[in-house]
Structures are given as structure tokens and as C-alpha cells.
């Protein structure tokens, strides 16, 4: 009795069937992944990816790049606010800067730019000087917390880059700020 070799077409069909079977997920596993509560370092949109090839439930995809401006915003906040014609740091601003310093200690290679801003009232020159004092106040506080001053640059935009448009106290309050930007 002579035996014939399997046809290449049959071999391709068998290989394709094995590949499809290997790619399918077990419905029991995907239910397990989807029933997990999201961790604090993961946004709930990550659950859409679960079961679509994600098999290791110990690895979580962060909603931001580690050491990025998005992480700084999420864990510390990037803005501190000032009173009218003031550049002293409020208790709330100091806490934000403490959180920023903790972020910078966690990522020793990260450098930041602290932007100083002012509201629309006053001359351009006056507001540039006030913005510089605000940025430098934030920098001095970060340095007092042990952050290397060479990792912090400052710039003043004065009233040139308002966050809120309007000539009212609410808009002015949003524009009197210092913003920390990851470089």
C-alpha cells in the first residue's frame, strides 16, 4: 500500500485552524479580568483592552507615560495660584509644590520649567516682573525641599498667556498662577 504525502492545501488549513485556536481567549478568563476593580493607577478605559490579548493581570497599563507632565498633573497638580498683586505661596500652593517635589524625587532625571503668569490688570512690564517673582517663589520652595536648582528653570509670561479670558475676578484668579511644566 502506498502512502501519499498530505497536500499543501490541507497543511495550510490545519495551520490556520491551530493559529485561530491559539488566538482565542477562554471566556472564563475574560470574565475574570473584566470583573476586577480598577486600581488607582489605571483609568477604567483600560478594561476595554482586557481580554483582547492581555493575559497578565499583574501588569497594568498606565494612562500616562511615567515621569511625564500628565503624571505630574495626575499625582501633584501643575498649577499654584496667587492673590492679587501677590507672589507669596498659600498653604494650598505649598502642598502642591510638596507633591511636585515628591514627583521630582521619584524621577531624578526630570527637569521642569516653572512659568509665572499674571492677570490682565497692570502694565506689561509690571506683570512680567510679577510673573517672574511668582515663578521664582515656586522654584525657591522646591529647592528648599531638596530639589536641585539646576533642574528648575523659570520664565515669566506676565499677562501674555491668559488661561481664562474675561475681565472679572473669576478669570483674573485663574490667570494669577504658576505652572510647572515637565521638560
Does the pTM surpass 0.75? The reply is: no
Alpha-carbon span 60 to 43, nearest angstrom:
10
Residue 118 C-alpha cell reads as 499674571
Alpha-carbon span 116 to 159, nearest angstrom:
9
Measured torsion, CA atoms of residues 69, 36, 54, 46, in degrees rounded to the nearest 10:
-30
Query: Which CATH superfamily does the domain covering 69-182 fall into?
Result: OmpA-like domain (3.30.1330.60)
86 confidence band (pLDDT: 50, 70, 90): very high
The 10s digit of each residue's pLDDT in 119-154 is: 999 999 999 999 999 999 999 999 999 999 999 999
Q: How far is CA 103 from the centre of its chain?
A: 11
Q: For helices 91-106 and 124-144, what crossing angle results, to 10°?
A: 60
Alpha-carbon span 141 to 164, nearest angstrom:
26
Query: To which residue does cell 494612562 refer?
Result: 63
What ranges do the domains of the chain cover? 8-48, 69-182
Amino acid at each position: 500500500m502506498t502512502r501519499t504525502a498530505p497536500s499543501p492545501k490541507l497543511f495550510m488549513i490545519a495551520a490556520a485552524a491551530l493559529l485561530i485556536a491559539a488566538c482565542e481567549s477562554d471566556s472564563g478568563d475574560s470574565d475574570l479580568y473584566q470583573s476586577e476593580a480598577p486600581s488607582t493607577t489605571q483609568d477604567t478605559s483600560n478594561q476595554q483592552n482586557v481580554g483582547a490579548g492581555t493575559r497578565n493581570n499583574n501588569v497594568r497599563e498606565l494612562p500616562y507615560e511615567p515621569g511625564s507632565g500628565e503624571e505630574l498633573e495626575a499625582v501633584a497638580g501643575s498649577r499654584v495660584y496667587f492673590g492679587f498683586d501677590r507672589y507669596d505661596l498659600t498653604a494650598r500652593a505649598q502642598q502642591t509644590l510638596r507633591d511636585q517635589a515628591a514627583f521630582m524625587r521619584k524621577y531624578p532625571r526630570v527637569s521642569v520649567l516653572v512659568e509665572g503668569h499674571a492677570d490682565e490688570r497692570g502694565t506689561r512690564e509690571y506683570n512680567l516682573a510679577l510673573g517672574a517673582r511668582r515663578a521664582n517663589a515656586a522654584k525657591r520652595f522646591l529647592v528648599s525641599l531638596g530639589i536641585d536648582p539646576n533642574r528648575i528653570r523659570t520664565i515669566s509670561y506676565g499677562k501674555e498667556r491668559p488661561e481664562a479670558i474675561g475681565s472679572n475676578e473669576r478669570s483674573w484668579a485663574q490667570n494669577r498662577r504658576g505652572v510647572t511644566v515637565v521638560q
